[in-house]
Amino acid sequence: MNDSRPVVVHMEDICKRFGAVQANNHISLSVRQGTIHAIVGENGAGKTTLMNVLYGVFPPDSGTVSLYGQPVRFRSPAEALQAGVGMVSQHYALIPRLSVLENLMLGGEGASLAPLPRAQVLARAQELAKVIGLQADWDAPAGALSVSQQQKVEILKLLLRDARVLIFDEPTAVLPPADAEAFFALLHRFTEEGRTVLLVTHKLQEVLGHADEVTVLRAGEVVATMPVREAPGAEPQIDARTLARLIVGEGGVLPEEELLLGKRLDDKPRLRVEGLVVPPIRSRAGLKAVSFEVYPGEVFGVAGVDGSGQAELIDALVGLAPPTQGRIWLNDEDITCAPPSARLRKGVRYIAEDRHLRGAILGWSVAENAALGLHRQGGFGSALSLSFARMKEFAQRIIARFAVRAPAADAPFSALSGGNQQKVVVGRALMETPVLLIAGQPTRGLDAASTRAVHHAIREACRQGAAALVVSFDLDELLTLCDRIGVLFDGRLVDIVEGERRRREEIGALMVGAVKGGGA
């Protein structure tokens, strides 16, 4: 053990309650200088809450925080930053319409009416950008950057303030594999410089591969804190099974290891896409003449680096973006120009990649969100009436089947943790077997048990005759879940891999355009 290293962050007996939920229950945590300290746990275990307390987003109900042995009480992130504690939150905190440079200058020191320190910040940023490998147009709006670049800008922002304690909340959730590896190389570099890293994650491989110590949270309490390795770079002393068992507790569900392959139930395609062209929405490329078919009983995966045309594909399939060319057939019926309501009626269901933006209305109750989009066919009433009883009953069935941690069916949706919100959105799409499921990152931000539940639900729906198309940036997810995987690169479907060729390396190379696929 590295007992010689001084404790930088010490949190003692932290309690934090949100309404009926005790998010943090007497949590104590010590983090040593120059280490990567991982914090793991299921959704709703209290990881993010604890980090928000440390970063001064909200104060704890009770308990103390000390930094380098000095008690501190941050009343805002500004004070935390000033003391050298910085956080890169799960949903990146860059303001999309401000330029990269403006984002970097934001929240910095300096008298209000002083001129913006453009030149100084730019000079230092350029220097630091070389270190962390960021290439960006400083005057471009931050929203135009790829997720990997945005993350680097966030890191740069903390380095500019010379943060000594860096908190990362699910940092690799949306990064392509190669960028995730580069990210961890950067973390090791930081710890060598004497900085301290707190890593909130639910990917056990990241803990075993990179962390020095790990703290496991379950239901708001610390289950265990233990060293992962003797020294940086050494082999881990614990294995994934032990860790997973600690996370889920006795009788919990362990993450899956088996593949979930299905079989085609029919040779007639359920979904046929031919020569689809969609103008760019959130990528540079848009979608360029993409053709493929999805058959009943199978899960068709779509791999690719973020911004390769996934958003355009999904929008065209659910009816939110009209294609300029090409056709979409559902069971031999042309639905190219059908509005979303018509597609819903025909049994197309959609799990949105961004539940806040598209999946749910935060101010509504769980029950209302459960019925959202199904209001026409779910038997919840007619144009002039609405049966809240039936909506609640439907929500309760989702809560039961997907083990949603919700106080009640009529509780506000915003009271649920992110993972539980996602379960409601997934449950809504899958309670009745859909004809076609369109899913964008269906397990984004979910823990092992919930991910497994969602995967099995998708599989089960396909066994019952559904066809599914799943877009994900997590290659492991696609490899576990999908029968065939189409790879998007620069708006084109460069290849569809199945059978022997379903390998990480093969798909990874196709994703970055390193090899030309067979075409599709």
Partner 1 sequence: MGEVFDIELFRSALRLATPLALAAMGGILSERSGVVNIGLEGQMLMGAFVGWAAAVALGSGWLGVLCGVAAGMLLGFLHALLTQRFRADHVVSGMAVNLLSAGLTVFLLRRFFERPPGASGVPNWGLEWLQPIPLLGGLLSNQSPFVMLMLILPFALHALLYHTVWGLRVRAAGESARKSRLAGIGVVAIRYRCVMLSGALAALAGTYLSLSQLNVFTEGMSAGKGFIALAAVIFGRWTPLGATAAALGFGFLDALQQRLQGETLFGVRVPSEVLLSLPYLLTIVALAGLVGRSIPPQDLGKQEEGE
Decide whether 74 or 292 has the Cβ nearer to partner 1: 74
Beta bridge partners of 325: 277
In the complex, minimum distance from the CB of residue 235 to partner 1, in angstroms, rounded to a whole number = 37
Q: Establish if 384 lies at the interface with partner 1 (CB under 8 A).
A: no
Q: Which stretch binds partner 1 (CB under 8 A): 87-95, 175-183, 305-313, 480-488?
A: 87-95
Binding string, residues 143-162; x marks residues near partner 1 by CB under 8 A: --------------x-----
> What SS3 string covers 233-296?
CCCCCCCHHHHHHHHHCCCCCCCCCCCCCCCCCCCCCCEEEEEEEECCCCCCCCEEEEEEEECC
In the complex, minimum distance from the CB of residue 475 to partner 1, in angstroms, rounded to a whole number = 29
In the complex, minimum distance from the CB of residue 508 to partner 1, in angstroms, rounded to a whole number = 32
Taking the mean position of all CA atoms in its chain, how far away is CA 338? Answer: 30
Beta bridge partners of 292: 273
**Coil/strand/helix, residue 359:** helix
Name the packing angle between helices 240-248 and 448-463 (round to 10°): 90
Q: Which stretch binds partner 1 (CB under 8 A): 102-110, 259-267, 283-291, 433-441?
A: 102-110
In the complex, minimum distance from the CB of residue 140 to partner 1, in angstroms, rounded to a whole number = 16
Q: Establish if 303 lies at the interface with partner 1 (CB under 8 A).
A: no
* Residues 6 or more apart whose Cβ sits within 8 Å of residue 446: 43, 202, 419, 422, 423, 454
Q: Establish if 140 lies at the interface with partner 1 (CB under 8 A).
A: no
Q: Establish if 399 lies at the interface with partner 1 (CB under 8 A).
A: no
The answer to whether 419 and 44 are in contact (CB under 8 A) is yes
Name the packing angle between helices 147-160 and 177-192 (round to 10°): 10
- Which of 1, 71, 78, 376 binds partner 1 (CB under 8 A)? It is 78
Decide whether 116 or 234 has the Cβ nearer to partner 1: 116
What's the CA dihedral at 92, 98, 100, 101 to 10 degrees? -130
Q: Establish if 214 lies at the interface with partner 1 (CB under 8 A).
A: no
- Which of 7, 72, 83, 93 binds partner 1 (CB under 8 A)? It is 93
Backbone dihedral angles phi then psi of residue 241, each to the nearest 5 degrees: -65, -45
Q: Establish if 67 lies at the interface with partner 1 (CB under 8 A).
A: no
Decide whether 358 or 397 has the Cβ nearer to partner 1: 358
Decide whether 143 or 249 has the Cβ nearer to partner 1: 143
The answer to whether 167 and 51 are in contact (CB under 8 A) is yes
Q: Establish if 81 lies at the interface with partner 1 (CB under 8 A).
A: yes
* 212 vs 206: CA distance, rounded Å: 11
Strands (E), 172-232: 196-200, 213-218, 221-227
Nearest Cα residue to 101 out of 132, 131, 145: 145
- Which of 35, 89, 146, 215 binds partner 1 (CB under 8 A)? It is 89
The answer to whether 32 and 10 are in contact (CB under 8 A) is no
Decide whether 52 or 420 has the Cβ nearer to partner 1: 52
Q: Which stretch binds partner 1 (CB under 8 A): 74-82, 202-210, 445-453, 479-487?
A: 74-82
- Which of 12, 58, 329, 347 binds partner 1 (CB under 8 A)? It is 58
CA dihedral (369, 90, 146, 498) positive or negative: negative
In the complex, minimum distance from the CB of residue 64 to partner 1, in angstroms, rounded to a whole number = 21
Backbone dihedral angles phi then psi of residue 503, each to the nearest 5 degrees: -130, 150
In the complex, minimum distance from the CB of residue 75 to partner 1, in angstroms, rounded to a whole number = 10
Q: Establish if 369 lies at the interface with partner 1 (CB under 8 A).
A: no
Decide whether 98 or 281 has the Cβ nearer to partner 1: 98
Size of the site for partner 1 (CB under 8 A): 34
The answer to whether 125 and 286 are in contact (CB under 8 A) is no
Q: Which stretch binds partner 1 (CB under 8 A): 112-120, 284-292, 345-353, 487-495?
A: 112-120
Q: Establish if 120 lies at the interface with partner 1 (CB under 8 A).
A: no
* Residues 6 or more apart whose Cβ sits within 8 Å of residue 114: none
- Which of 107, 279, 340, 519 binds partner 1 (CB under 8 A)? It is 107
- Which of 1, 73, 76, 400 binds partner 1 (CB under 8 A)? It is 76
Q: Establish if 277 lies at the interface with partner 1 (CB under 8 A).
A: no
- Which of 362, 389, 400, 403 binds partner 1 (CB under 8 A)? It is 362
What's the CA dihedral at 61, 67, 73, 77 to 10 degrees? -100
In the complex, minimum distance from the CB of residue 365 to partner 1, in angstroms, rounded to a whole number = 16
* Residues 6 or more apart whose Cβ sits within 8 Å of residue 198: 9, 31, 37, 39, 51, 54, 165, 166, 167, 168
- Which residues in 457-516 contact partner 1 (CB under 8 A)? none
* 154 vs 128: CA distance, rounded Å: 12
Q: Establish if 52 lies at the interface with partner 1 (CB under 8 A).
A: yes
- Which of 13, 62, 71, 97 binds partner 1 (CB under 8 A)? It is 97
- Which of 11, 31, 38, 94 binds partner 1 (CB under 8 A)? It is 94
The Cα-based distances of 401 to 313, 355, 449 in angstroms read 30, 20, 13
* Residues 6 or more apart whose Cβ sits within 8 Å of residue 392: 367, 409, 410
Decide whether 95 or 289 has the Cβ nearer to partner 1: 95
Binding site for partner 1 (CB under 8 A): 52, 57-58, 76-82, 87, 89, 93-98, 102, 105-108, 110-117, 157, 362, 414
